[in-house]
């Protein structure tokens, strides 16, 4: 691009460079999606995420397409971080897919506010069997202002504390039940040359799991409920400051793997540290079980993978059974889709999604589908220990808080992740974090 430039055109070239930066990224985002989905004029399009559920979703859609040649679905996959940017730009430009994959929460609300997704309440009323198959606690995450805009589409994903049993045995350590025990383990592992915790800090959202659970254990679910409800100065709750202080103490103690801020979770490097024994524990979503089952099959099969709940904090108000994470992922139906596409989409939701083979596929991949009456199937799975554990965790949780970056508006979520990164790097104090975040309330 540069070689032909002559001196005089630099000014203009510079202009083109900078101006094109915004427009090119917009154009690039807008162009590839719809072009890829234009297989047949009226076939519904679906964007899924790469990773653990990819083969399951792929199979579900392939099966659907071969059984329903007249209402096919065109499926494309994207990496998590890239998807979140891409889908929003595409939807904003009126080029979004028929099925919009999401997490519920503040991001879903922004779609609802912009009139980009259809109200599915009427559909649920007409199809009670669709509504009845879900665990009710999960279904309500797709409800905004009393109307259902998104339906759960895969598995329940609480955040779990995973650990490497081999490493624990080698060091002679016990699984931490309290925060104090956890802190006491740090020097023990460090002396053995093992990082106590792996953390995908470059991806930023894994940092958040620490804050979410600490605030939950110390202050209970109300603390974040107030933040999500945009109550003034909701971040000033002492539970937030205490949690941030504890995080920085853990960083100071060397609790996280060497170079944690350059480890990316999207490449699964964080979990690799744990199953290769370079780190003892990792706090991550329920979905990494699926990828470990694939990438570290022997490790998982031989029962070396341990899992437990986040430790309690002495004096904390939160119920130890409370859970944070993603209740499920969701499908919303684009308001901009054609009638034919919408019809095909809802038809798939009713008869294709959570068909027996889809449910079995999810279970086989190491995931717990968000539907009722699967205890028997879970118990018959080779992964029954983990699956039953996650199912029980989700079912018995008095409160299941949605991941904060999804629950908040995108602007708040982005500011929160950027500032939390600064907390982990010790570039700012808990007080500065609270002040900065209070200023974003309502944005």
Question: Rule CB under 8 A: which residues touch other proteins?
Answer: 2-3, 5, 7, 10-25, 85, 88-89, 91-92, 110-111, 113-114, 116, 201-202, 204, 257-264, 269, 272-273, 278, 410-411, 414-415, 418, 421-422, 425, 427
Give the span between the Cα atoms of 164 and 265, in whole angstroms.
18
Nearer to other proteins, 257 or 344 (CB): 257
Minimal distance, residue 327 CB to other proteins, in Å: 23
Nearer to other proteins, 253 or 264 (CB): 264
Nearer to other proteins, 202 or 312 (CB): 202
DSSP state of 246: H
Give the span between the Cα atoms of 237 and 284, in whole angstroms.
25
Please identify which residue in the block is written with the tokens 């650990």.
Answer: 163
| The two three-digit tokens of residue 381, written as one number | 């799975």
Q: Is 268 left (phi over 0), alpha (psi -120 to 50) or beta?
A: left
Minimal distance, residue 271 CB to other proteins, in Å: 12
Nearer to other proteins, 104 or 221 (CB): 104
Give the span between the Cα atoms of 176 and 308, in whole angstroms.
9
| The two three-digit tokens of residue 297, written as one number | 């099959």
Please identify which residue in the block is written with the tokens 């009670």.
Answer: 128
| CB contact at 8 A, 178 and 151 | no
Nearer to other proteins, 46 or 90 (CB): 90
Minimal distance, residue 276 CB to other proteins, in Å: 9
Minimal distance, residue 34 CB to other proteins, in Å: 17
Minimal distance, residue 119 CB to other proteins, in Å: 17
Nearer to other proteins, 227 or 417 (CB): 417
Minimal distance, residue 106 CB to other proteins, in Å: 11
Give the span between the Cα atoms of 229 and 244, in whole angstroms.
21
Rounded to the nearest 10 degrees, the angle between the axes of helix 410-424 and helix 105-113 is 150
Nearer to other proteins, 297 or 418 (CB): 418
Nearer to other proteins, 310 or 404 (CB): 404
| CB contact at 8 A, 337 and 44 | yes
Strands 323-326 and 279-285: unpaired
- Give Cβ neighbours of residue 367 (< 8 Å, ≥ 6 apart): 52, 53, 56, 154, 155, 286, 287, 289, 290, 387
DSSP letters for 187-222: HHHHHTT-EEEE--GGGSHHHHHHHHHHHHHHH-HH
Minimal distance, residue 182 CB to other proteins, in Å: 22
Minimal distance, residue 277 CB to other proteins, in Å: 11
Nearer to other proteins, 87 or 323 (CB): 87
Helix (H, G, I), strand (E, B) or coil at 381: coil
Give the span between the Cα atoms of 80 and 89, in whole angstroms.
15
Nearer to other proteins, 137 or 441 (CB): 441
| Bridge partners, residue 152, by sequence | 330
Minimal distance, residue 59 CB to other proteins, in Å: 29
| CB contact at 8 A, 74 and 46 | yes
Minimal distance, residue 418 CB to other proteins, in Å: 7
């Amino acid at each position: 691009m540069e070689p032909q430039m002559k001196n005089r055109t630099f000014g203009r070239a510079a202009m083109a460079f900078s101006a094109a930066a915004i427009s090119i990224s917009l154009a690039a985002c807008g162009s590839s999606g719809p072009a890829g989905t234009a297989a047949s004029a009226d076939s519904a399009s679906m964007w899924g995420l790469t990773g653990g559920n990819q083969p399951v979703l792929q199979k579900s859609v392939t099966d659907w397409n071969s059984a329903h040649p007249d209402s096919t679905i065109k499926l494309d996959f994207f990496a998590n971080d890239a998807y979140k940017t891409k889908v929003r730009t595409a939807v904003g430009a009126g080029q979004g897919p028929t099925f919009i994959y999401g997490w519920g929460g503040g991001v879903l609300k922004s779609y609802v506010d912009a009139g980009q997704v259809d109200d599915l309440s009427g559909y649920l009323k007409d199809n009670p069997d669709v509504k009845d198959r879900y665990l009710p606690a999960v279904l309500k995450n797709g409800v905004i202002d009393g109307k259902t805009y998104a339906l759960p589409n895969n598995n329940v994903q609480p955040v779990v504390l995973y650990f490497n049993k081999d490493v624990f045995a080698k060091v002679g350590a016990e699984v931490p039940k309290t925060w104090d025990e956890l802190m006491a383990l740090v020097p023990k592992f460090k002396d053995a040359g093992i990082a106590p915790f792996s953390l995908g800090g470059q991806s930023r959202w894994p940092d958040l799991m620490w804050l979410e659970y600490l605030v939950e254990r110390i202050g209970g679910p109300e603390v974040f409920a107030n933040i999500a409800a945009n109550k003034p100065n909701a971040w000033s709750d002492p539970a937030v400051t205490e949690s941030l202080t504890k995080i920085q103490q853990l960083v100071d103690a060397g609790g996280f793997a060497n170079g944690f801020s350059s480890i990316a979770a999207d490449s699964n490097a964080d979990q690799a540290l744990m199953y290769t024994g370079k780190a003892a524990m990792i706090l991550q979503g329920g979905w990494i079980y699926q990828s470990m089952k694939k990438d570290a099959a022997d490790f998982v099969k031989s029962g070396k993978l341990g899992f437990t709940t986040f430790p309690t904090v002495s004096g904390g108000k939160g119920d130890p059974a409370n859970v944070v994470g993603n209740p499920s992922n969701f499908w919303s139906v684009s308001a901009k889709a054609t009638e034919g596409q919408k019809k095909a989409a809802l038809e798939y939701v009713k008869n294709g999604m959570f068909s027996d083979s889809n449910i079995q596929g999810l279970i086989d991949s190491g995931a717990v589908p968000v539907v009722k009456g699967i205890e028997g199937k879970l118990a018959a799975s080779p992964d029954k220990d983990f699956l039953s554990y996650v199912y029980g965790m989700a079912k018995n949780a008095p409160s299941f808080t949605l991941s904060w970056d999804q629950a908040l508006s995108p602007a708040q979520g982005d500011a929160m992740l950027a500032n939390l990164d600064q907390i982990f790097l010790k570039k700012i104090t808990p007080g500065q974090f609270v002040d900065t975040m209070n200023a974003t309330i309502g944005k």
